[in-house]
Amino acid sequence: MTGASTGMGAATARELARRGFHVLAGVRRESDGAALRAAAVEPVILDITNPEHVAALVARIDGDPQRRTLRALVNNAGVPGAGPVEVTPLDEWRRIFEVNLFGHVAVTQALLPALVRSKGRVVNISSVNGKLSMAGYGPYASSKHAMEALSDALRNELAPHGVQVVVVEPGGVKTEMAGHGLAGLSRLSAGMTPEQDARYGTLVQALPSHVAAFTKAGVTSDVAAKTIVKAVTDRRPRTRYVIGAVAGLLIRASRFLPDRLLDRMTTSDLRKHYPAEKHNRTAAAHHA
């Protein structure tokens, strides 16, 4: 599996190993692998945007000394990214898509011959944002929407060849990833023109609080891992698994509610975190 250095990926690798699987866990640094080795997981240095790393992974699988077959590929690696569409630099858009989409395409292409031979499974980790986007989440949500479309095409292409394709859509998960994605917001804010600041300044200020609240209300990495493991091991898997009650509610709402009503709902939730709105609520509570 890719993206197993920390959080949900590491928890999934440990849970699969606990259930008797030999797990090749993609990590970015040697130091990330120490804790995984202790859990009987084999860490593999893997930057999915690096063709040499991907080729080395293929060689490791094809040359397995115990001639084990590849049961499943879990595409979990990802980077977050937040910011208004207008002011997020194109290089940042490309960086997010390079990891969240194109890197997964590269790994999947490279491992499909082995998966077809074994009639294995591809498990793509998407997000609730793959179904539902809102102001300030465009870069990340766009990459996850693309992952959903990729998965649908792949599922239909591989079904005749016995390879199953499953999507997992997490909502809030208590990991470090969300915080990492907000680190660039201060730089983004500093680079905005006065006109852009007038349009998006309060939105950019609200995003850290909104992400923090969504993450805090989410499930732990260990809970999320159990759903991912189900996607890997269920004999007749669903095409999609959702992680978290809030994610399930939002995804169902996105299917049935009119777009403008959904827009009002998401905007209302986001506005609770606007600086002026938070100040007004705090003042009202104090006077009450």
- Cα distance between the two ends of the chain: 52
Residue 200 is among the residues annotated as catalytic for this protein: no
Which one-letter amino acid corresponds to residue 81?
A: G
Please report whether residue 1 resides in a domain: no
CB 96: neighbour CB atoms within 10 A? 22
Please report whether residue 66 resides in a domain: yes
Please report whether residue 54 resides in a domain: yes
Which one-letter amino acid corresponds to residue 224?
A: A
Low-confidence ranges of the chain (pLDDT < 50): 279, 281-288
Please report whether residue 47 resides in a domain: yes
CATH number for 274: 3.40.50.720
Please report whether residue 2 resides in a domain: no
The tens digit of pLDDT for each residue in 234-264 reads 999 999 999 988 888 889 999 999 999 999 9
Print the domain residue range for 253: 7-287
pLDDT of residue 214: 85
Exactly one of 140, 200, 241, 274 is catalytic; which is it?
140
Contact 81, 94 (CB under 8 A): no
CB 215: neighbour CB atoms within 10 A? 17
Please report whether residue 267 resides in a domain: yes
Please report whether residue 131 resides in a domain: yes
The total of structural domains in the chain comes to 1
Torsion of CA 231, 232, 238, 240, to 10 degrees: 50
Contact 218, 244 (CB under 8 A): yes
